[in-house]
C-alpha cells in the first residue's frame, strides 16, 4: 500500500533530524573521503556538486573489479561519481541545475543509489552564476519552486537544497518559506551571503531565525572556523539552534573531528583515507588535493615536501608505508575484473 505523500514527507524530514552531515566539497567528497567520514561517525555524506549536463551524458557502469557503480563522463572517459553498497542509505548527491525538467531527468538516474538528492543554491562561483545555477537561484523564487517541487513530486527519495543567506533577513525568511512549501525534506543553510568569503563571520543568528520560522529540519553550515574539537560540532548546532549540522572544512582538515572519542593524529587520518583511495582507485589529482588539505602547514615538513613531489598514487602510498596494500589492491582488482576486460579498465 503506497504511503500517503504527506506522511512520506514527514518520514523524509525525520531522516535529517539530529544528524551530523559532511558537506558537499568539490574534489574532496569522492567515495574514499565519504567512507572515511562514515568510519568516523558521520550520519550522512554529500557528494561533490555535479552539474546536471554531466550526469545526462554519463554512462552508468557496474565496476566488478571494484564492486562499485560508476558514472562515467564519456567525452572525457573519466568517472565523476563512484558509489558502493556501504554508503547506500547515507549518500546524498548534490546537483547543480537551472532547469526543473533536466534536474528530474538526472535525479531519476541517480535515485536507485542515493539516500537523497540535494540542489546547490549557494555556489557563488562565476561558472555557476553564469549558468543560472547555485547562488544565481537565490533571487529566482519561481524557478526554485519549480525545480524543487518537480523533484519532490517525481522522486521516491528525499529532496533538499543548500542555500546561502540573503542580504536582508526578511527576504531570507520569505525564500525559506517558499522552499519549505515546495515540499523538500530539509534545508541546509550556510550563514554567509553570496559575496562573503570564509574569513567573514558566519551568521548563526540568521540560521537560528530560519529554524524558528520554518517547520522542516534546518541544517546549520558555515561554522568550521570554530570547530576545533568534536564538542564544537554540538556547540555550533546550539548556537544556530538547529537540529542538525553540516561540516565542510573542519572535516576536510581532519576528518576524525567526527569521532566522539576525539580527534586522531593527522598521519593516522591520512593513512586511513589513502587505504580507501587505494581500494577504490581514487584519481591521483583528487587524492593529492585532499591530502594537501589535511597536511596544511605540515607541507613544510620533510614528509610534506616529499609528498609535494609525488606524481602517482603509488608514490603517495609509499610515503605513508602503504605500498604493500597498494599492490594487494591491484591484484584483487585484477582477480575481480571480468575475463576479457581491457587492462586499462581493470
Q: Is 249 in the site for ligand FNR (CB under 6 A)?
A: yes
First to last CA, the chain: 44
Nearer to ligand FNR, 10 or 234 (CB): 234
How many angstroms separate the CA atoms of 243 and 59, rounded? 37
Q: Which residues inside 229-248 make contact with ligand FNR, applying CB under 6 A?
A: 247-248
Q: Is 220 in the site for ligand FNR (CB under 6 A)?
A: no
Residue 54 near residue 73, CB atoms below 8 Å: yes
Q: Other CB atoms closer than 10 Å to residue 193's CB: what's the count?
A: 18
Number of H helices, E strands in the chain: 15, 12
Question: Which residues are registered as beta bridge partners of 45?
Answer: 22, 91
CA within 13 Å, CB half, 79: 21
Question: Which residues are registered as beta bridge partners of 51?
Answer: 96
Q: Is 119 in the site for ligand FNR (CB under 6 A)?
A: no
Nearer to ligand FNR, 25 or 322 (CB): 25
Site string for ligand FNR, 87-116 (x = CB under 6 A): -------x----------------------
Q: What DSSP character marks residue 276? A: H
Q: Is 125 in the site for ligand FNR (CB under 6 A)?
A: no
Q: Is 162 in the site for ligand FNR (CB under 6 A)?
A: yes
Out of 84, 123, 161, 243, pick the active-site residue. Answer: 123
From 105-113, 219-227, 262-270, 277-285, span contacting ligand FNR (CB under 6 A): 219-227
Secondary structure E strands in 270-310: none
**Binding residue (CB under 6 A) for ligand FNR from 20, 21, 22, 25:** 25
How many angstroms separate the CA atoms of 67 and 335, rounded? 12
Q: Is 186 in the site for ligand FNR (CB under 6 A)?
A: no
123 is catalytic: yes
**Binding residue (CB under 6 A) for ligand FNR from 30, 83, 120, 160:** 120
Nearer to ligand FNR, 195 or 321 (CB): 195
C-alpha cell at 65: 573489479
**Cα-only R_g, the chain:** 20
Q: Is 28 in the site for ligand FNR (CB under 6 A)?
A: yes
Shortest Cβ distance from residue 164 to ligand FNR (Å)? 8
Shortest Cβ distance from residue 37 to ligand FNR (Å)? 13
CA within 13 Å, CB half, 64: 9
How many angstroms separate the CA atoms of 155 and 136, rounded? 24
**Residues forming the active site:** 123
Residues that bind ligand FNR (CB under 6 A): 23-26, 28, 48-49, 94, 120, 122-123, 162, 190, 221-224, 247-250
Amino acid at each position: 500500500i503506497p504511503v500517503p505523500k504527506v506522511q512520506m514527507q514527514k518520514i523524509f524530514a525525520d531522516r535529517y533530524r539530529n544528524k551530523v552531515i559532511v558537506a558537499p566539497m568539490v574534489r574532496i567528497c569522492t567515495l574514499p573521503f565519504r567512507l572515511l567520514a562514515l568510519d568516523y561517525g558521520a550520519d550522512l555524506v554529500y557528494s561533490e556538486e555535479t552539474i546536471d549536463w554531466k550526469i545526462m551524458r554519463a554512462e552508468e557502469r557496474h565496476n566488478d573489479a571494484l564492486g562499485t557503480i560508476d558514472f562515467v563522463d564519456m567525452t572525457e572517459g573519466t568517472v565523476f561519481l563512484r558509489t558502493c553498497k556501504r554508503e547506500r542509505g547515507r549518500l546524498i548527491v548534490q546537483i547543480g541545475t537551472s532547469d526543473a525538467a533536466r534536474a528530474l531527468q538526472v535525479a531519476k538516474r541517480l535515485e536507485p543509489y542515493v539516500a537523497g538528492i540535494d540542489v546547490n543554491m549557494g555556489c557563488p562561483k562565476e561558472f555557476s552564476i553564469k549558468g543560472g545555477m547555485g547562488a544565481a537561484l537565490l533571487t529566482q523564487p519561481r524557478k526554485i519552486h519549480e525545480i524543487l517541487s518537480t523533484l519532490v513530486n517525481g522522486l521516491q527519495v528525499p529532496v533538499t537544497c543548500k542555500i546561502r543567506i540573503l542580504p536582508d533577513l526578511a527576504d531570507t525568511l520569505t525564500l525559506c518559506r517558499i522552499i519549505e512549501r515546495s515540499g523538500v525534506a530539509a534545508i541546509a543553510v550556510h550563514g554567509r551571503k553570496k559575496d562573503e568569503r570564509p574569513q567573514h563571520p558566519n551568521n548563526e543568528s540568521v540560521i537560528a531565525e530560519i529554524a524558528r520560522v520554518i517547520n522542516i529540519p534546518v541544517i546549520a553550515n558555515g561554522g568550521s572556523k570554530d570547530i576545533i574539537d568534536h564538542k564544537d560540532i554540538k556547540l555550533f548546532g546550539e548556537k544556530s539552534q538547529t537540529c542538525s549540522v553540516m561540516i565542510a572544512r573542519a572535516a576536510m582538515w581532519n576528518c576524525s573531528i567526527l569521532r566522539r572519542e576525539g580527534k586522531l593524529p593527522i598521519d593516522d587520518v591520512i593513512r586511513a583515507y589513502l587505504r580507501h583511495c587505494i581500494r577504490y582507485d581514487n584519481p591521483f589529482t583528487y587524492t593529492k588535493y585532499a591530502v594537501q588539505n589535511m597536511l596544511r602547514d605540515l607541507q613544510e615538513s620533510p614528509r610534506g615536501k616529499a609528498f609535494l613531489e609525488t606524481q602517482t598514487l603509488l608514490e603517495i602510498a609509499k610515503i605513508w608505508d602503504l605500498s604493500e596494500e597498494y599492490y594487494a589492491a591491484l591484484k584483487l582488482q585484477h582477480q575481480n575484473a571480468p575475463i576479457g576486460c581491457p587492462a586499462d579498465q581493470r
